[in-house]
Amino acid sequence: MTMAESPAGSPRADNLRATPGQAAREGGRFAPGAGRDDDGFERRAVVFSAEDLRRAQVRIAHEIVERNHGAEGIVLVGLHERGPEIAQRLAAAIASFEDVEVPVGALDVAFYRDDIGMRPVQPLGPTEIPVDIGGKVVVLADDVLFTGRTIRAAMDALTELGRPRAIQLAVLVDRGHRELPIRADFVGKNLPTKIAEDVRVRLHEHDGTDDVVELWGPSGFSERGTGAPREEGGA
């Protein structure tokens, strides 16, 4: 098995959930506005400005309600880290137009990952789901969908807590390179990326900076592309 979510031995693993403290460490290095960081990564594109991100969130909130014919029976569950904040935002948006308070929870998937022992894994936050999810529609919320392994772990974790009627997935960015048969139901933006690139998400509640989503990549490779799925042992 390859180091599934660790792109080519790169120290950059921004959108991986299971690297404790990484966000904190990056907090110092990643200055929005600066175009280059200490690891030789440079900014390629701004995927979402704060305003665009807000619009995407509102659209996703509408889509969730539309798909489920209302907001009753929905539970929004965010995956650490940044997922809980996204779930809160979606719930606030739904409350603003639908007048329903959708319950919001947080889920940590560390103990359910399939790469335990392959690289450092630590819980990133408490699992707190305020309602019984049995018979409900659980909408998982996350920032970036990549290999799908985090989502697989999340479904395992969730089913230990109850039997939802359905599980749906909402993400801000789908960057491709799935390694499992998983897809998102609600997507802010489909973004073709290369494996070696990073999608960096900053949310003001979590990171203390303005909201922004950016695509970063190693300096010196400026051409863009979708990138073929990595081969076995490619790391």
Partner 1 sequence: MRDLLSIADLDRAQIEALLDGAEHMADVLGRDIPKVPALRGKTVVSLFYEDSTRTRLSFETAAKRLGADTMTFTLGTSSVKKGESLLDTARTIEAMGVDAMVVRHSAAGAPHRVAGWVDAAVVNAGDGRHEHPTQALLDAFTLRRHRGPGLDGARIAIVGDVRNSRVARSGIACWHRLGAQVTLVGPPTLMPERLDGWPVAVSHDLDDVLTELDVVYVLRVQQERLGQALLPSLREYYARYGVTTARSERMKPDALVMHPGPMIRGPEIATEVVDGGRSLIREQVANGVAVRMAVLWDLIGSGGRLV
CA distance 189 to 191: 6
Using alpha carbons, select from 78, 98, 68 the residue that is nearest to residue 150.
Answer: 78
CA distance 95 to 185: 20
CA distance 24 to 35: 19
| 28 counts as binding partner 1 under rule CB under 8 A | no
CA distance 31 to 44: 14
Q: Which is nearer to partner 1, 73 or 123 (CB)?
A: 123
Token readout for 224 is: 């863009």
End-to-end CA distance of the chain: 10
| 110 counts as binding partner 1 under rule CB under 8 A | yes
Token readout for 132 is: 């019984």
Q: Which is nearer to partner 1, 52 or 114 (CB)?
A: 114
CA distance 114 to 155: 13
Note whether 41 and 12 are within 8 A (CB): yes
Stretch that binds partner 1, among 110-118, 164-172, 199-207, 217-225 (CB under 8 A): 110-118
User: Out of 120, 135, 229, 234, which residue is the one contacting partner 1 (CB under 8 A)?
Assistant: 120
User: Out of 122, 190, 219, 226, which residue is the one contacting partner 1 (CB under 8 A)?
Assistant: 122
Give me the least distance between CB of 111 and partner 1, in Å please: 4
| 119 counts as binding partner 1 under rule CB under 8 A | yes
| 67 counts as binding partner 1 under rule CB under 8 A | no
Note whether 136 and 74 are within 8 A (CB): yes
Stretch that binds partner 1, among 4-12, 34-42, 109-117, 177-185 (CB under 8 A): 109-117
Q: At 28, which helix (H) or strand (E)?
A: helix 22-29
Interface of this chain with partner 1, residues 154 to 173, rule: CB under 8 A: 156-157, 160-161
| 79 counts as binding partner 1 under rule CB under 8 A | no
Stretch that binds partner 1, among 32-40, 71-79, 97-105, 112-120 (CB under 8 A): 112-120
Q: Binders of partner 1: how many residues, by CB under 8 A?
A: 18
Q: Which positions lie near partner 1, rule CB under 8 A?
A: 108, 110-112, 116-123, 126-127, 156-157, 160-161
